[in-house]
Amino acid sequence: MSPRPPPTLEDSLREMFPEEWLRQTAKETGLIKRERKIDPVIIFWVLTLSFGVRLQRTLSSLKREYETESHKTISDSSWYYRFTPELVEFLHQCVIHGIEELAKEPGRKLSKKLENFQDIVIQDSTIVRLHSSLSDKFPAARARTVAAGVKVGVMVSAVANGPKTVALYSEKSAEIKTLKIGPWIKDRILLVDLGFYKTQMFARVEENGGYFVSRIKKNMDPVVVSIEEGMPKTKCKDFIGKPISECIKQLSGKDIDAVVKIAFKRREYKGKQKQDEMNVRLVAVYNDEDEKHHIYITNIQKEILNAKDIANLYGARWDID
């Protein structure tokens, strides 16, 4: 038997971007609401494989290429009106997916408990000092003398074992503004410290099909919806509607797994800011060394990770960093 020829670049790309993934991503980004004349799979490959040096370089030539590949004739408007912000977002998600696939180490996978998640990602940032001559363009946030600096926002991937994204911001930028949540978070776990704590952000993670684990702010005292573990069932109903702090005081030295309600404000829209609320899982794990509870919030179900698993997962943040 003659040896099989090595895979071509096109073969590798088609394995990296399966048809099912492309169609799902097209729907999630709003590129395709109802598939009619424009097929998201064909438009992806036409734009990927036909655009470049000495290839198709105009919209009209790309349209002809699309018609050849799809065996359909389409109107100019059907083609030109497809070049929208939704197409940009679709291609952006494809680039992110491609980088993730290339970055994966051979055989590197999450543990069995986490096998249903695609990745664990951590967002963090640090300040890099620049020469003072750059203070006009990159002013320092807190400095008694003339100084310059930038904030470097980094997202680290456990699967890729390295940076997923790196971006530069003004040193004055709040931590939360260096983290943009979108469809990319689906089936991924985001670990963040208190600098990124914002219920509005947690809601966006959940709405995009992602998961989060965070320490809870000291001034937060959410209301108990239910106690899942940590006390006898006969006493659980006594804490419904009360602040979680009361529950923790009465169960000193024990781990607590509860569902709590957190109120927050949605992003401002047309000058108005809507009040909202969400239920999250609250895990309070007693630390013998510190002699106090370490409290976390998450939307990962307890059937997947128990209370100590959540604490260990958040603790692994430092290993991944």
- Same domain flag for 163 and 247: no
With respect to residue 239, please indicate whether it lies within any of the assigned structural domains: yes
| Position 33 pLDDT exceeds 80 | no
| Position 321 pLDDT exceeds 50 | no
With respect to residue 116, please indicate whether it lies within any of the assigned structural domains: no
- Same domain flag for 134 and 93: no
Q: For the chain, how many structural domains are there in total? A: 3
**Residue that terminates a domain, selected from 152, 179, 206:** 179
pLDDT band at 320 (very low <50, low <70, confident <90, very high): very low
The partner residues of 128 in beta bridges, in order of sequence, read: 150
- Same domain flag for 167 and 225: no
| Per-residue confidence (pLDDT) for residue 53, from 0 to 100 | 45
Supply the range of the domain harboring residue 90. Answer: 9-104
Nearest to 180 by CA among 156, 204, 206, 214: 204
134 φ, ψ to 5°?
Answer: -95, 10
- Same domain flag for 17 and 74: yes
| Per-residue confidence (pLDDT) for residue 22, from 0 to 100 | 92
pLDDT band at 1 (very low <50, low <70, confident <90, very high): very low
| Per-residue confidence (pLDDT) for residue 249, from 0 to 100 | 81
| Position 190 pLDDT exceeds 90 | yes
**Residue that terminates a domain, selected from 52, 74, 104:** 104
* pLDDT (tens digit per residue) in 110-160: 778 888 898 999 988 888 888 888 888 888 877 677 788 888 888 888 887
| Position 308 pLDDT exceeds 80 | yes
| Per-residue confidence (pLDDT) for residue 212, from 0 to 100 | 95
* pLDDT (tens digit per residue) in 195-252: 888 888 999 999 999 999 999 988 888 888 888 776 666 667 777 888 888 888 877 7
Mean pLDDT confidence for 174-193 = 89
With respect to residue 189, please indicate whether it lies within any of the assigned structural domains: no
How far is residue 276 from each of residues 65, 179, 230, 231, measured CA to CA in Å? Answer: 48, 21, 28, 29
With respect to residue 110, please indicate whether it lies within any of the assigned structural domains: no
With respect to residue 109, please indicate whether it lies within any of the assigned structural domains: no
Greater confidence, 259 or 106? Answer: 259
With respect to residue 186, please indicate whether it lies within any of the assigned structural domains: no
- Same domain flag for 162 and 92: no
* pLDDT (tens digit per residue) in 48-103: 877 654 454 678 888 888 888 888 888 888 888 888 889 989 988 888 888 777 76
- Same domain flag for 100 and 66: yes
| Position 35 pLDDT exceeds 50 | yes
- Same domain flag for 67 and 127: no
Greater confidence, 234 or 265? Answer: 265
Greater confidence, 4 or 75? Answer: 75
* pLDDT (tens digit per residue) in 102-119: 766 555 677 788 888 989
Of all residues in the chain, the percent with pLDDT exceeding 90 is 18
- Same domain flag for 14 and 126: no
**Residue that terminates a domain, selected from 39, 69, 104:** 104
Per-residue b/e over 265-303, b at no fewer than 16 CB within 10 Å?
Answer: eeeeeeeeeeeeebebbbbbbbeeeeeebbbbbbbbebe
| Per-residue confidence (pLDDT) for residue 255, from 0 to 100 | 86
With respect to residue 42, please indicate whether it lies within any of the assigned structural domains: yes
Nearest to 178 by CA among 254, 134, 226, 124: 124
- Same domain flag for 219 and 281: yes
Tokens of 59: 């919209």
Nearest to 16 by CA among 103, 83, 89: 103
Counted residue by residue, the chain has a size of 321
Question: 3-state DSSP call for residue 67?
Answer: helix
With respect to residue 238, please indicate whether it lies within any of the assigned structural domains: yes
- Same domain flag for 144 and 75: no
| Dihedral of alpha carbons 302, 308, 313, 317, sign | positive
- Same domain flag for 236 and 204: yes
- Same domain flag for 252 and 200: yes
